[in-house]
Amino acid sequence: MTDIIQVLPDHVANQIAAGEVVQRPASVVKELIENAVDASSTRIDLLIKDAGKTLIQVADNGKGMSETDARLSFERHATSKIKLAEDLFDLKTKGFRGEALASIAAIAHVELKTKQAESDIGTQLKIKGSKVKSQEPCVTPTGTVVSVKNLFYNIPARRNFLKSNAVETRHIIDEFQRVAMAHPQISFSLHHNGNELFQLPETNQRQRIVNIFGAKTNEKLVPVEEETDIIKIEGFVGKPEFSKRTRGEQFFFVNNRYIKSPYLNHAVNAAFEGLLKDKKHPAYFLYLTVDPKSIDINIHPTKTEIKFDDEHALYAILRSAIKHSLGQFNVAPILDFDRDANLDTPYNYKEKAISNPTIEVDRDFNPFENSSNISVKNQPMRSSFPKQKASKENWEALYTGLNNEDSENFTNIEFESEEVSGRLFDEDPEETPNRTFQVQKKYIISSLKTGMIVIDQHRAHSRILYEELLKNITVKAAVSQQLLFPLQLQFNAHEIAMLHELKSSLEQTGFVFSKLEEDDVEITGIPNLIAESEVSILLEQLLSDFEHDVPDSGFQQTDLLAKSLSKSMAIKTGNVLNTQEQLAIVNGLFACKEPNLTPANKKIFVRLTAEDLEKKFI
């Protein structure tokens, strides 16, 4: 039998490894920025074009590499971070697997320029599809510049799986922000297609968070600090009143590495128990420092998941530390045993002898005697109301003026009474064929000739609003209600950028923006279908929907906008509707072009025929 096992060529192995390391342009950004951080850089500049599909360039002023190291850095499993397998459990750096540059070079055109401080001249290296095209000396500043061009040029199938430029840019910004927050001592900048998105100077943790998420974030933060033998906790949590319906501003960093941990996230939520409204999520930026030997960070290719030795202890410490901070800064109610200065003994009475209180009683007081005969001497208390003489004339005066003629008027008074009938409802069903009923504050039941129909009120209203919003955006015929006082809202820089893209469409639905700049939004008009108190919730949900599914074309943007707004504005389950409102929903639903399904393709109503009902009684 012939041999069937063979060793894969290097370029094939590198492309397979690239499937793990490089999922999208954001993966390249993460690897290159982390390498720049490990090079002891104090400034890192990121430049991207076409969401990283055309160009990703990372420039740093770090230590740089020698000519030999520059060449070896693109070999598989070549790393300066570990030498033995045991080193994996004592890592203090970020990149350590030695696959990043080799995998990137296998699926892109890579150009590397690097120079060490003690060298007079640097090295330039050009690689295309894992093959070194040239290596020569060059003039370059101290540090390293890596340019990755035409990502996935030789794997078109992988390139087809990339999302739109807006979605890929969002992922790049997420990776950039995570590394920038973990290293506030390093200055960062981000440029996309020639536009500056971020310019972050060297600063502290709090100011770095404020620089990324907007100036208004500063007032929302509550500091958290705790240090024990097994963990050191630093960072900030958001005040409960600023909680959101989305989980966007939630960050864990372990030894300056961003991680995702549902278990620790549960600990934070437990600390906020009783302080958050329903379906609200707290913001937190927490930096945990633990012994590198107590964690395993090599359990996931992207290294965003970590396994801890003693998760239960970390859970308890984290929860108690956040609870303590919320109580310390009077965010949460606590038992306060501090002395109240108002209850202190006055200075003049400190040396005065204590005397027993005396009670004086007027034993001659008789409440049934005439008030004029009562002696007021030695009375400790007196009523502030004048005492009236009790006489027979007082109560007889109530009936003066009444005579027989007046009493006759009472015979004409009609009393309301409820007629007792054998019918369950006031109206005759035959006289009101469009009669509807609400069940469980969720369903509307209406009769049909062949049975009845059960309608989900939330889904039906969302379909009605969806078609109405699409019509308003297309025809530009929306009605807006002006606010007496402008509504002030706060968003971060990325959310403001999305609002700029959606501004024209939102204005066609009825929103009126008087200010939309930096982190400040002022609204003077809203659609007449929503209440003022729901505007912030509606916009938060809208931005969350667009962040996870950014459309490519204008029609898709309009469609997604109408879907998101209709879902947020529709009547919720639990709302009690009167007969007119029920009829309005039923009539509005069947006036729609597609009454059967919601915008999300869910069933709106079900029909129950007389035969279906008869089967229930068999």
pLDDT single digits (tens) 29-74: 998 998 899 888 999 999 999 999 999 999 999 899 888 888 888 8
Average pLDDT over residues 166-189: 90
Domain range list for the chain? 10-200, 205-328, 438-607
Contact 258, 177 (CB under 8 A): no
For domain 205-328, the CATH architecture is 2-Layer Sandwich (3.30)
pLDDT at 418 over 50: yes
pLDDT at 183 over 90: yes
In the chain, what are the helix, strand and coil shares in percent, each to the nearest 5?
Answer: 35, 20, 40
Contact 491, 214 (CB under 8 A): yes
What does the pLDDT read at residue 432?
47
What does the pLDDT read at residue 372?
52
Q: What is the CA 498 to chain-centroid distance, rounded?
A: 15
pLDDT at 430 over 60: no
Burial 246-255 (b: 16+ CB within 10 A, else e): bebbbbbbbb
What does the pLDDT read at residue 61?
92
Cα 516 to Cα 150, 493, 503, 546: the distances in Å are 36, 11, 9, 18
- 10 Å Cβ neighbour count for 581? 17
pLDDT band at 426 (very low <50, low <70, confident <90, very high): very low
Least confident of 280-284, 395-399, 546-550: 395-399
- The proportion of the chain whose per-residue pLDDT surpasses 70, expressed as a percent, equals 77
Average pLDDT over residues 383-389: 49
Contact 237, 326 (CB under 8 A): yes
Q: Which residue has the tokens 């509307």?
A: 444
What does the pLDDT read at residue 425?
45
Integer-rounded Cα radius of gyration of the chain: 37
pLDDT at 191 over 80: yes
511-525 pLDDT, tens digit each? 888 888 766 788 998
Alpha carbon distance 457, 445 (integer Å): 10
**pTM for the full predicted model:** 0.68
464-481 pLDDT, tens digit each? 989 888 887 777 666 788
What does the pLDDT read at residue 347?
64
Average pLDDT over residues 214-236: 88
Class of domain 10-200: alpha beta
Cα 143 to Cα 100, 140, 525: the distances in Å are 19, 8, 52
What does the pLDDT read at residue 91?
63
CATH code of the domain occupying 438-607: 3.30.1370.100
- The proportion of the chain whose per-residue pLDDT surpasses 90, expressed as a percent, equals 22
Length of the chain: 618
Q: Helix, strand or coil for residue 443?
A: strand
Average pLDDT over residues 364-380: 61
